[in-house]
A and B are shown apart, each in its own frame.
Chain A
């Protein structure tokens, strides 16, 4: 009974967040017009690139390449700004107040993050997909892949959560985390294959990117969408599981350190 209650608790947080954000899904769709421009520019860039090289770059056709970016952008655009939320809570003392309630601070934010993410995904994916459909047309994704891909979206977002929340928690030590976020976020972009598939990097950089968790946050999930296979699912999920364990352990450590710091330094 205990664990069912706990699961219900965090599910309720997530569901409440969905309801709270859903009211604004229309506005969000509108502001995602910018996303349409991004995809459009990508289409132009890669169309020009393909015109110089031939039908396939690293095993990807032009439509596959574009849908790869639809996937990475959908992941990025569905990610709530949890780093600044946590930064604010650290700074104005709301973090301490949340401890008055019987839930885990990070657990609460994971649930709220996913809830928010669902709404943002609903507002981002159709926009990006529409531009891709109108410019390069559809690609073949088997129907049975769709639930798997949605599940992978969740595990992928959890990795993003750990990364962003860690940056937000830096507010315990830093006056301002927006600078750190800018750098670390872009680092994640490059190493994750967000702007360009990792396979197109020079060898030395591919090796570095291959040993970091970021490829599981953009590149690998996106590749799974454009070239679905069960072998890829297995490799992706086991890689993500490993990094989820590592990153959440780190995140929890940083959180404990921060709370201890409040304890000795005051709010």
Chain B
């Protein structure tokens, strides 16, 4: 079939990445479990916090655990499987896009699927396990969880590609995108209820922390179609915005003078 032939390269990249992980399995396991425990310690912090202050602005420990299991999973998928989304500015500035431009596959897709980051795959596994151990699950909830996590992954990716593409227009601004993604993640790991109204508007638009964190938690707690619709629209929106900005930016792309061999 034409489709499988066209997309076959994705599987090829993933197999190669996996083989690389197995080659350095000690280091892989270290990073993987390191991140796993890192997330665990944050959850420990929140459980300590809620032991002392059982409810803050309507949020309980249960909600926060749900939030962490969603955000780590979608963040982990976005940057563990599609690591290049985070490295986009660096690739552009160093002229490494040339490699992708020279090959007969869609540039953005090709770039995104070509590099894993094992550290973040630890996040991707942490989320579901946290859910499994600390939340009461039904089949419907599980399906919903998968759906909201996938939406979140698209939002993270769309956001990272959007801010990463700014480098096409601004030139030397490699640090900016990384900082903005960091800000998004930081906001996403706190209950949105603590923020003032103005900031909350920001968190559902420019820095979509509300979309990747609060909204999915609400959907899993008290399902309603409106919230789910909003989330899906957000996911499609950010993904499209990223793709659009990348495409526009690519037109301005001038290859850097640093030709580096791909490793």
Contact = CB atoms under 8 A, between A and B. Distances in A.
Whether A and B touch directly in their complex, counting CB atoms under 8 A apart, is answered as yes
A195 B189 CA distance: 14
Nearest to B183: A37
Given A175-B27, A183-B38, A196 B186 contact: no
B45 A196 contact: yes
A130 interface: no
A48 B57 contact: yes
Contacts of B259: none
Given A31-B175, A182-B38, A175 B24 contact: yes
B260 interface: no
A34 B182 CA distance: 7
A200 B30 contact: no
B194 A201 contact: no
A179 B33 contact: yes
Given A180-B34, A195-B45, A48 B186 contact: no
Interface string B44-78: 11001101110111000000000000000000000
A171 B27 CA distance: 11
Given A30-B175, A45-B194, A52 B55 contact: yes
A187 B41 contact: yes
B38 A48 contact: no
Interface string A14-55: 000000000000010011011001100100110111001100
B13 interface: no
Interface residues of A, number: 35
B134 to A, nearest CB: 18
A207 interface: no
Contacts of A94: none
Given A34-B182, A190-B45, A201-B48, A175 B26 contact: yes
Given A48-B193, A179-B30, A186 B41 contact: yes
| Size category of the binding interface on chain B | 35 or more
A174 B48 contact: no
Contacts of A180: 30, 34
A205 interface: yes
Interface in A148-199: 174-183, 186-187, 189-190, 195-196
B116 to A, nearest CB: 15
B14 interface: no
A102 interface: no
Interface string B150-182: 000000000000000000000000010001001
Given A178-B30, A179-B35, A183-B33, 15 more contacts: A31-B179, A34-B183, A37-B187, A41-B187, A48-B57, A48-B194, A174-B26, A179-B29, A180-B30, A182-B31, A183-B38, A186-B42, A187-B41, A195-B45, A196-B49
Interface of B: 24, 26-27, 29-35, 37-38, 41-42, 44-45, 48-49, 51-53, 55-57, 119, 175, 179, 182-183, 186-187, 190, 193-196, 199
Interface of A: 27, 30-31, 33-34, 37-38, 41, 44-45, 47-49, 52-53, 174-183, 186-187, 189-190, 195-196, 200-202, 205
28 contacts: A27-B175, A34-B183, A37-B183, A37-B187, A45-B190, A45-B194, A47-B194, A48-B57, A48-B194, A53-B53, A174-B27, A174-B30, A175-B26, A175-B30, A176-B26, A177-B30, A179-B30, A180-B30, A180-B34, A182-B34, A183-B33, A186-B38, A186-B41, A186-B42, A190-B44, A196-B45, A200-B52, A201-B48
